Amino acid sequence: MSLALCVDQIVGLKEDPAKRRLEVRTDRSGVLWIDLSAAVPVNVELIRTAQAEREFVVLRFETETRRVTMAVPPVQDCIAYLGDRKAADRLVEVAALKRPTGLFLDKEHPRFEELYALLSQAHMAEREGAQAVLAVLPGANRVEDVVVIPPPKP
């Protein structure tokens, strides 16, 4: 079973009481679904709030079935430091301004080049107010997905 972890905005929800499922339409991951009768429930309230307030949410889902297994708030912050991608270490350091612990981007991540470019873009525009929305599992320190929020226009 392959899992994906993505930063998304919820664009629509549709409940099917007969199947005890909630269809979740997102801006980046497409149509996903939540099993409302699962033994370990997904935080549906977080998803509903994220949709109502047009906020980002991190969704972990099975790539084959599209079933959501977890929903958590993202890390949204300015990127204060981004390590050298050409360093010998496998992990590239990422420092968020308001986060007391360091984050890392794994060079073996299948989307490393894309994620590094997005982090670099957010880091370069940090002085103008750009922020990065990061998918990081609770208790973990690996960046799995990135969305850049451009600086506000004057």
- Express each pLDDT in 34-59 by its tens digit: 999 988 899 999 999 999 999 999 99
At 81 the pLDDT is 95
CATH of span 75-149: 2.40.50.340
Query: What is the C-alpha to C-alpha distance for residues 71 and 69, in angstroms, rounded to an integer?
Result: 7
Amino acid identity, residue 90? Answer: R
Return the SS3 of 116. Answer: helix
The residue among 112, 100, 117 whose CA lies nearest residue 143 is 112
**Is residue 84 within 8 Å of residue 70, measured between CB atoms?**
no
Domain boundaries, the chain: 3-72, 75-149
At 151 the pLDDT is 83
Q: What is the mean pLDDT of residues 133-138?
A: 93
Asked if pLDDT for residue 2 goes beyond 90, the answer is: no
Domain 3-72 shares a fold with domain 75-149: yes
Predicted TM-score (pTM) of this structure: 0.90
Q: 132 Cβ partners below 8 Å, 6+ apart? A: 76, 77, 78, 79, 96, 118, 119, 122, 146, 147, 148, 149
Topology of domain 3-72 in CATH is OB fold (Dihydrolipoamide Acetyltransferase, E2P) (2.40.50)
At 131 the pLDDT is 94
